[in-house]
Amino acid sequence: MDSRNRWMAGIARGRLTRRRALVLGGAAGFLAACGGGTKEQPAARATVAPGVQPTTAAVAAEGTPKPGGTYTWTDVGDTPLDPTNNPTYRAQNLAGFTYSRLLKFKTGPTPEVFFNYEVVPDLAASWELTNDGLQVTFKLQPNATFHNKPPVNGRSVTSEDVKFSLERFRAAPKNTNRNAFGSEQNKLVIGLETPDAQTVVVKLAKPYAPIFNLFANPQYLWIQPKEMDTGFDPSKDQIGSGPWVFERHEPDKQIVVRKNPNYFIKDRPYIDTVVRVVIPETAQQIAQFQAGRLDLLGVPAQQKADVERTNPKSQIVTYIPTTYTFIAPQLRGNSPFRDVRIRRAISMAIDRKSWVDLLYIGQGLHYLNAVPASMGKWWLNPQGPDAGPGGQWVKYDPKAARDLLRAAGAENMPLRFIFTNNAYGDVFNQGAEATATMLKEAGFNVTIVVQDYLREYIDARGTFFGNYEGVFYGLQTPFTDPHDYLFNMNHPGSARNHIGLDDPKLTAMIDDEERTLNEAERVKKVHEIQRYWLDQMYYIPVAVGYAYQFRQPWLKRQYYSGSFGWAAEALLDAWIDKG
């Protein structure tokens, strides 16, 4: 038995045969419930692979919208309520129900629409960028109001609330995204003016290509009332202008939101009540969907055929997810990973094809680069003819990996391999342990370290934000513009620079790309960054396969959404029709 079959068989026999959850893309990259004159920022189109094609299949006949009903979805753990001070995807997903952004993303029935990331109005009714790219003017929805709860009591949303929200975002001590709008070292937003209650004027230090995407990205700015922090505790309640009103939180059980009767879009949403239940085990999630108690679920590839058999009327979406699985070698201090040969050895130890065979039953194999494959024209295929010299380092060759270690004087190198096993589902854990096994077989002396997600991994002082030794195996936030991947993971000015990377050449390339307003030129520059990045192998990108989202037949017009803000993007126009 060759090494590939040996490690796959070993995992299949071992504890990783327990019930599994597919690492899903789109909003959260792993969540089942996603989606669900302006100068709009162009963005990526979804890519397709040979064989099975990404499709939206068996979409139910829509008919006439029916108001009412309860929509139930699930996640594996509890959710913090304040999206500003909690970087977890769970907080951002929940915020989409109760808060608004200035802009949001258009969704639709196919990947060509929902991964295009076209910005459309949310709390901003219109927006305009000056010719020099240094000023954006937003006009707010004239009838937007906050929820009718003390201390705001349904008052109008004003430009002062936008100003307050941005200031709070940039000052929040636990907000690891606070530099998204610039910092002292990397200035971007240098002023915000409020000439009247409905107008917001944003001053920029430099032209910034993804500026509208920045204000639509649900990882960043949710508009919150200026009474927050003094009039109510955002860690215990949510008061926004979103389509649903926060009702209650039963820790580790469920969260309930109700329709906002005063939402600024007339007659929306259609669905009265949304319940988010905590179900940690994948098998139980699937059982609840099969019994009709969940309206939507991301189903692991291994269980797809079973759910198709038990629920033949289900609507199924097949797509290349934004899932970005990577290995992060710590570069800070006197790290052995500063030697590029060791980083390249890690990459060549990974059998990406067998990894996708194991986790995605071999469907939709796409290698990752500095941006994920779902980003279409922005993605440079590491296996393609334009990949440059870095393409050789993604080939599976454990012998070459051993040779690189030997050349670096690092034979049988100790490798602390960290991952969290209580956040992303069992299949993520399965992929982590499969990867660790590959590294062992390529000559690394691997020690696996398992961490708690909230306490050790995603905490602002935790592993995800650079406080670790060795390497960690992780998932990146499903960003909505290639610059977010390039800047956040690789720029010394980013709090999400997990590995402590400071390469002046790469930094200059990223700074140049962000200032390039011509899209065709920017695409070329993003590709050039990926060629350089791939050869340096600062992070070790893995791969991705097809993801599957199942919807009950009575759920009408819920499209997929490729962002954390799926509630206002994909659920707003949906309704339930059980006949």
Does residue 27 have a pLDDT over 50? no
Specify the residue for token string 């629409």.
113
Q: What is the pLDDT of residue 426?
A: 81
> How confident is the model at residue 61, as a pLDDT?
52
Q: Both ends of the chain: CA-CA distance in Å?
A: 55
Instruction: Looking at mean pLDDT, say which of 48-62, 306-320, 334-348, 562-576 comes out highest.
Output: 334-348
566 residue type, one letter: W
Given a cut of 60, is residue 6 above it in pLDDT?
no
Residue the block writes with tokens 């390339």:
509
The CATH T-level fold of domain 325-545 is Dipeptide-binding Protein; domain 3 (3.10.105)
Find the mean pLDDT for residues 68-75: 96
**pLDDT at 7 (0 to 100):** 53
437/61 Cα distance (integer angstroms): 47
Quote the pLDDT of residue 52. 35
Cβ atoms of 129 and 202 within 8 Å: the answer is: no
The confidence band for 9, taking pLDDT boundaries of 50, 70 and 90, is low
Q: Are strands 445-451 and 296-298 parallel, antiparallel or unpaired?
A: unpaired
Contact 416, 449 (CB under 8 A): yes
Q: What is the CATH number of domain 31-321+551-576?
A: 3.40.190.10
What pLDDT, on a 0 to 100 scale, did the predictor assign at position 121? 98
**DSSP E strand stretches across 76-172:** 103-105, 119-121, 124-129, 135-140
**Among 70, 89, 71, which Cα is nearest to 79's?**
89
Q: How confident is the model at residue 230 (pLDDT cuts 50, 70, 90)?
A: confident
Angle, alpha carbons 498-118-376 (nearest 5°) = 60
Tell me the C-alpha distance between 514 and 207, whole Å: 8
Give per-residue pLDDT as tens, 80-130: 999 999 878 899 999 999 999 999 999 988 888 888 899 999 999 999 999
The answer to whether residue 60 scores a pLDDT higher than 80 is: no
DSSP summary character for residue 100: B
- Report which DSSP code applies to 560: B
Residue of 492, 495, 500, 489 whose CA lies nearest to 533: 489
pLDDT band at 55 (very low <50, low <70, confident <90, very high): very low
Taking phi over 0 as left and psi of -120 to 50 as alpha, with beta for the rest, 58 belongs to: left
Per-residue pLDDT, averaged over 357-362, amounts to 94
If one compares 499 and 76, the residue with the highest pLDDT of the two is 499
User: Which of 27, 210, 211 is CA-nearest to residue 114?
Assistant: 27
| Banded model confidence at residue 2, pLDDT cuts 50, 70, 90 | low
Q: What is the DSSP letter of 499?
A: T
Instruction: With cut-offs at 50, 70 and 90, classify the pLDDT of residue 305.
Output: very high
- Quick one: pLDDT at residue 307? 95
- What pairs with residue 328 in β-bridges? 472
Q: Would the pLDDT of 48 be above 70?
A: no
Q: Find out whether 140 and 124 touch, Cβ atoms under 8 Å.
A: yes
Report whether 206 contacts 188 (CB < 8 A). Answer: yes
pLDDT of residue 29: 33
Percent of the chain at pLDDT exceeding 90: 76
Residue 548: Cβ within 10 Å count: 23
pLDDT at 262 over 80: yes
Largest Cα–Cα distance in the chain?
Answer: 73
The counts of H helices and E strands in the chain are 15, 23
Q: Is the pLDDT of residue 24 over 50?
A: no
Q: What is the pLDDT of residue 353?
A: 98
Give the pLDDT confidence score for residue 278 in this predicted structure.
96
Residue 43 reports pLDDT greater than 70: no
Phi and psi dihedrals of 493, rounded to 5? -85, 5
> Does the pLDDT at position 17 exceed 50?
no
Query: Does pLDDT of 179 surpass 90?
Result: no
Reported as a single tens digit per residue, the pLDDT across 378-427 is 999 999 999 999 999 999 999 999 999 999 999 999 999 999 999 888 88
pLDDT at 19: 31
**Residue 7: closest CA among 446, 433, 445, 429:** 433
Decide whether 31-321+551-576 matches 325-545 in CATH topology.
no
Name residue 490's amino acid.
N
pLDDT at 231: 85
* pLDDT of res. 33: 36
Give DSSP secondary structure letters for 416-474: EEEEESSSS-HHHHHHHHHHHHHHHHTT-EEEEEEE-IIIIISSTTSGGGT--SSEEEE
Q: Residues 122-156: pLDDT tens digits?
A: 999 999 999 999 999 999 999 999 999 999 999 99
C-alpha span between 354 and 360 (Å, rounded): 10
Query: How high is the mean pLDDT of the chain?
Result: 89
Position with higher pLDDT, 499 vs 15: 499
What's the pTM?
0.81
CB-side neighbour CA atoms (13 Å) of 370: 32
Q: CA-to-CA distance for 24 and 546, rounded, in angstroms?
A: 9
Amino acid 115: pLDDT: 86
Domain residue ranges in the chain:
31-321+551-576, 325-545
- Ordered alpha helix ranges (H), 17-173: 89-98, 111-114, 159-171
Share of the chain above pLDDT 70, in %: 89
* 379 neighbors 47 (Cβ within 8 angstroms): yes
pLDDT (tens digit per residue) in 463-503: 999 999 999 999 998 899 999 999 999 999 888 899 999 99
SS3 175: coil
pLDDT of residue 25: 31
